[in-house]
Every structure is written in structure tokens, then in C-alpha cells.
Amino acid sequence: MRLAVMITMALGLVAGAAFAKTPYHDGTAEVIKPTDKDHPLGEIVSGYDFRKAMIRDVQDDDFENPAMLVVDHGEELWGTVDGSAGKSLSQAFEGCAEVPLDVAGAVYPRFNNAAGKVISLEQVINMCRETAMGAKPYKWESRDMLGITAYIRMQSRGSRVNVAVDGKASAAFERGKKLYYQRVGQLDMSCAHCHEDNYGNYIRADMLSQGNINGFPTYRLKWNGVGSTHRRFRGCMKNIRAKPLPYGHEDYVALELYTAWRGNGLKVETPAYRN
């Protein structure tokens, strides 16, 4: 029965939605006009503005936002010496990331010369721990990884997302774009069916956003905790009855790059709060 309901919902979405779009913000949203002529949307809006005021209020208050507990943990890790090199991440990070700390949260995923490919922020953190600190890598969705990632991204809070997709990053970008529009799973759906064709419409009790990732790592009520962008990707795959890929898979990194580009110009909001 549950699968039948999901299929019915999917058919409604894929058909282009036989219902009118619901106004998805109260007129106070910051609406960005994309500067790239190849951008598929005429406007770019943060997921923040698709949420009700009670959700936005929690995100806006650092004392109320439960994700700040994870950020505080990340701040402790930032200055903690770990590994055989006797260094902390605060001493090693900028050399590994190849950009200043206050910039990293707005430009990753990014082509990293030392890695020789596009990598996510989680991957550059672990690369730094292993090569510069002589420390063990963090597990992807561990409290330590979520904490340090949220802390680093928060240093760019208020800055504009500005991921680069040209030059050496172009192959990963094109791969991510292909994946965004690729139908997968038993429901035969792509990312675009929800976040491009139907943003502003409700799927059950949840309004679909444009799927921008400028607030990750994000605290979700559904998770009762903080999660990464790749956790969100895996959740979407499960929802459409597709097999999720492992955290850090090159396809997810490419998809993250493309999705981040779609939100270029939005403010970094980490740590966001969502239902």
C-alpha cells in the first residue's frame, strides 16, 4: 500500500503537477537572479524561505538552534592537537584546503590540486588529518566530522556561495549535472522532478524547495540531529526506491558540486534548521 501511495505521488509530480504552485514565501525572501546564462532556473531561493516562520526563527537564534551544540564540538576539535605530527586542524587546514578558512565554506566542493580532483569539504578535512596531521580520518557522519564541517562552514556564514565549475572542475560538474536529471529507482524519478519542476508544491506535509544546499550540515527534525549533504542525497534515493551510494562516492561529490552551483549567490546559512 505504501509503495502504491508513493507511485501515485510520483506520477502526480512527474506529470508536471495538476495543481497550482503554492506561494512559497511571504514576500521577504531574498530572490537571486542567476548570473550564468545556462542556469535552469529564473530565480534562486534558499530552502530557508520554503519553511514556516517557526522553523526560520529557530535557525535565526543561535541559542535556540540545536545544531549549535554540534558546532561547539567542532570548535573544540579545531584547536585540538591530534596525530603524529603534533598539529591541530587549525594549524594545517588552510594549506590543505588551498583557500583561507573564512572562504572554504563558500567554495567547496572544489578542485583540490593536492588531491588532483574535485573533493568535498569532508574529504579535504580527512586528507588534512591524514597527510598533514598524521591522524586517523573521521567517519563521514560521525559527530566529529559533522562538528568540524559545520564549524568550518559557519566561518563563511553570510558569505555568498561561489563554487567554481570551470577548468579542472568542469568534468565533475558535467557528471553532476547528468546525475541531477537522471531517472533512477522504482519510481523512475530524478532530482529535477522535485526540485526544479515542482518546488513550491507540497509532497504530503512538506513543501518542496529548490534543493539548494547552502545550509548544510543541517539539523533536521526528521533526523533528530545534524546531517551532511550526502545523507540528504541518500535519503532522496531511498524515497524514490533507488539504491543509495556510499558516503563520499565520486558521483555524490559531483552531484554536490552541481547542486551547490545551482545555489551560487545564496548566503551560506550553516547550520541550517529544517523539518
Report phi then psi at 57, rounded to 5.
-65, -40
Instruction: Say how many C-beta atoms besides its own lie within 10 A of residue 31's C-beta.
Output: 12
194 counts as catalytic: no
In this structure, the dihedral spanned by the alpha carbons of residues 224, 226, 230 and 232, taken in order and rounded to 10 degrees, is: 40
Please give the grid coordinates belonging to residue 183.
Answer: 531517472
Torsion-angle region of residue 114: left (phi > 0), alpha (psi -120 to 50) or beta? Answer: alpha
Rounded Cα gap, residues 202 and 198, in angstroms: 8
Provide the pairing of β-strand 272-274 with 218-220: parallel
Residue 246's nearest CA partner among 137, 138, 108, 140 is 140
Question: What is the DSSP-derived secondary structure letter of residue 26?
Answer: -
Axis-axis angle for helices 68-78, 143-154 (nearest 10): 90
Domains along the sequence of the chain with CATH: 2-9+27-65+163-274 (1.10.760.10), 68-154 (1.10.760.10)
Catalytic residue among 96, 128, 194, 236: 236
Give the per-residue pLDDT at 23: 59
Rounded Cα gap, residues 74 and 138, in angstroms: 12
Rounded Cα gap, residues 256 and 175, in angstroms: 10
Give the per-residue pLDDT at 223: 96
* Under 8 Å between Cβ of 266 and 44: yes
| HEC-encoded secondary structure of 89-101 | HHHHHHHHHCCCH
Give the per-residue pLDDT at 25: 64
Give the per-residue pLDDT at 13: 46
pLDDT < 50 positions in the chain: 1-21
Residue 192's nearest CA partner among 215, 172, 206, 176 is 176
